[in-house]
Amino acid sequence: MAARHFKANRGVLAVGHAAAPQSIYHNTSLYPSMFPWLFPYGKGGVGSSSLSDAAHKKWLLMYHDKHFQTDVGFPFVAFSHEQVKTSTTGGFLLADKDKFFEISERIHRIDNSVLESISDHMSKGQTVVPATDAEKDCFKLLNDLDHIAYNVRGSLMSK
């Protein structure tokens, strides 16, 4: 669905107030600018101390006055940022070593329109039974590749 959207040159929604988007990495002013009511005078942002980002967020959530816990958005944003950060490093594709060359060749040969069609049917909850050779190739590729997100808190693999 996402691939079809981008190939059709449809727009994307980016909500921001600056000329350039803010990075969630190594940006000590991010949280004070997002939550000015929680960070007086813009001080104490995540990354401004020797603590890791995750430890700093945990410390803020356990702060004695409970402002960070009772805020509607802070826990959600903090957890979401941690998921994004860990999913970029904690997820990977896994393939059998003896089939690696064959799988990489099939990735380059795969028919994107067939893959999009299968994805569209599956996203609607429909059962897809491969009928054509192109559909069988897509299913074989999906069967041979496993996406592992073992290190991402909140993902199915972390349970």
Give the closest residue to 103 by CA, choosing from 94, 112, 111: 94
Asked if residues 128 and 114 have their Cβ atoms less than 8 Å apart, the reply is no
pTM here? 0.50
Q: What is the residue-level pLDDT of the chain in tens, covering all 159 positions?
A: 666 776 787 776 555 567 777 888 888 888 888 888 998 888 888 888 888 888 988 989 998 888 888 998 999 999 988 888 877 766 566 666 777 788 788 888 888 898 889 888 888 888 888 899 988 888 888 777 665 555 566 655 555
Within 13 A of 154's CA, how many CA atoms are on the CB side? 10
End-to-end C-alpha distance for the chain, whole angstroms: 27
Domain layout of the chain by residue ranges: 24-89, 92-158
